[in-house]
Structure 1
Amino acid sequence: MSDPSLDSTGCALQEPYALQVLGDEMEPEFPDRCIVIIEPSDSCHHGHYVFAEVEGVRWFRQYLEETPGSARLVALNPLYPEIELQGLEWSVLGRIIQRNVRRKIKHYDYSQTPETS
């Protein structure tokens, strides 16, 4: 019998997973080709680094919301435009909890901030 909480590889859908960053949009914090670990989550808070889907396109960005209704996704590299989320169909797929740059690991702890979405 098939377990609906597992994907086709046998991994649980709610387990953290790794992706490689391609591009300079999130530099200098996340350089091109670094590895990030994503914890599946459908919520985030101001300042979190997130993997999100906006209008069917997936993005790795920083979530910012200084005031209610002002949510946007921001690339750390100022050469790339912000994505204003008001009026768009979007969802958080996960939060970045770790970065690995040439075997130097940095953890991101979101336990100190309240959850919002």
Structure 2
Amino acid sequence: MTDSILEGTGCALHEPFALRVLGDEMEPEFPDGCIIIIEPNDHCPNPSYIFVEVEGVRWFRQYRRDAAGRERLVALNPLYPEIDLTGLEWSVLGVIIQRNVRRRIKHYEYS
């Protein structure tokens, strides 16, 4: 091993990874317990499903930017409020490229 890998700059940081969705915030597209595959990336197309850190808290949400340039994170379940990103410190950790619900796989592509 080299020091750079130990410092967190190894290739693994650039490889897709899987997470399990916990909760109903992104239903019906992403039901509780489904597996999502995230491709590490620091930008997000509009709209896209992203894994993001906002003010030190990590979220899985849909990113949207309107015609006026206002950026927000939206839960697909209308019971949860959207997060207006104006004035907040936030960074994209990755984009969701795949979903697996009981062995049914769906891929997501962004332009």
Q: TM-score by structure 2 length?
A: 0.92
What is the DSSP-based 3-state SS (H/G/I as helix, E as strand, rest coil) of the residue aligned with 1:13? helix
Q: Is the 8 A contact 1:71 1:85 kept in 2?
A: yes
Q: Supply the distance in 2 between the matched residues of 1:7 and 1:30 (Cα, whole angstroms).
A: 33
How far is 1:66 from its partner? 1.4
- Aligned partner of 1:97 in structure 2 is 97
Which has the higher mean CA deviation after the structures are superposed, 65-74 or 82-91?
65-74
Q: Percent identity?
A: 72
Q: Give CA deviations for 1:49-84 in whole Å, capped at 9, x if unaligned.
A: 000000000000000001243000000000000000
Residue 77 of structure 1 corresponds to 77
For residues 6 and 50 of structure 1, the distance between their equivalents in structure 2, rounded to whole angstroms, comes to: 27
CA apart distance, 1:6? 6.6
In the alignment, structure 2 segments of 5+ residues that lack a partner are none
Note closer, same or farther for the CA distance 1:20–1:67 as it changes in structure 2 (3 Å cut): same
Q: 1:6 to 1:63 in 2, by over 3 A?
A: farther
Distance in 2 between the 1:24 and 1:7 partners? 35
Q: What is the one-letter code of the residue matched to 1:65?
A: R
Q: Describe the superposition over 1:24-44 as per-residue Cα deviations: whole angstroms up to 9, x where unpaired.
A: 000000000000000000000
Counterparts of 1:1-117 in structure 2 under 5 Å?
1-2=1-2, 4-5=4-5, 12-110=12-110, 113=111
In proportion to residue count, which structure has more strand? 2
Letter in 2 for 1:101: V
Q: Greater helix share, 1 or 2?
A: 2
- Shift in Å, 1:46: 1.2
Give the CA deviation at 1:7: 7.4
What TM-score results when the alignment is normalised by the length of structure 1? Answer: 0.87
Pairwise CA distance, 1:3: 5.1
